[in-house]
Amino acid sequence: MNSVKTLTTVAAFCWCAQVGASEAVHWTYKGATGPQHWGELSEEFGSCKWGKNQSPIDIRTENLLEVDLPPVSLDYRGATDSVINNGHTLQVNVSGDNTLTAEGETFQLSQFHFHSPSEHRIDGEAFPLEAHFVHKNEKGEIAVVGLLFQSGEASRDLSMFAESSPREVGKQSSFEHPLSEVLAIPLSNITTYYRYNGSLTTPPCSEGLRWFVIPVAATISAEQISWYIELIGADARGPQPMNARLVLHGN
């Protein structure tokens, strides 16, 4: 019995921002170890409770700072290696030359993963799925591109992962494909996006991350979302206070 194969068109991954996250401390998305308590679970998780620049956020369009933002370009020439079900998300590990060029700097893709429902909201509205592409530059600074998926047709990109996604927590499956084949979403020269400074959305909630949130013209089906929720569970942290921050918007 291979229940994964019966869910043919499933697609949902979660690239959670696991970079630097401590896996030693058990945390979850609900109950006593849920997001409201992350900051108390470990001293390392203090930013989850005390941070002033936390992610995700609810992007309020009436408060945007409209500016001339330079285009963001993702140039992914490498390949995927494996898919991991770490209990918090489905994470896809990659190899090769996969760059994000933004704000005059070059970042290399570390991994990507998914959240359902979306973590970022726009005017209070959550989306069915958000993909996080986590990048680092030579200084170790992190830039995350968040892609917001709409409800609609099944996503071909996501369905490619479905058959390879491990059902069991902690398991990893081989998944070797050129990224150009896996990701059909146009990712070069993106001029419409939201830019703000935030944090990892998972413990230890480290700050100093550059966030680029992009409402892409990509869809995911209800069936695919059901598959993801059955496999991983809802894995979105709620919106965090804006405090003194601004969201820049380029058009």
Q: Reduced to 3 states, what is the DSSP secondary structure of residue 64?
A: coil
Q: Which is nearer to Zn ion, 9 or 20 (CB)?
A: 20
Q: Do residues 144 and 209 lie in contact, with contact meaning Cβ atoms separated by under 8 Å?
A: yes
3-state secondary structure (DSSP) of residue 95: strand
Q: Is the peptide bond before 204 cis (omega within 30 degrees of 0)?
A: yes
Cβ-defined contacts of 174-180 (< 8 Å, 24+): 174/81, 174/82, 175/80, 175/81, 175/82, 175/83, 175/92, 176/79, 176/80, 176/81, 177/79, 177/80, 178/78, 178/79, 179/76, 179/77, 179/78, 179/79, 179/80, 179/94, 179/96, 179/98, 180/76, 180/77
CB of 200 to Zn ion, least distance (A): 8
Active-site entry in 88, 113, 115, 132: 88
Of 17 and 126, which has the nearer Cβ to Zn ion? 17
Name the residue nearer to Zn ion (CB basis): 67 or 228.
Answer: 228
> Is 88 a residue of the active site?
yes
Residues that bind Zn ion (CB under 5 A): 16-17, 132
Q: Residue 142 Cβ, how far from Zn ion at the closest point, in Å?
A: 11
Residue pair 222/116 in contact (Cβ under 8 Å)? The answer is no
Task: Quickly tell me which residue has 């494909």 as its tokens.
Answer: 177
Rounded least distance, CB 219 to Zn ion, Å? 20
Shortest Cβ 213–Zn ion spacing (Å): 12
- Residue closer to Zn ion (CB basis): 20 or 189: 20
Catalytic residues: 88
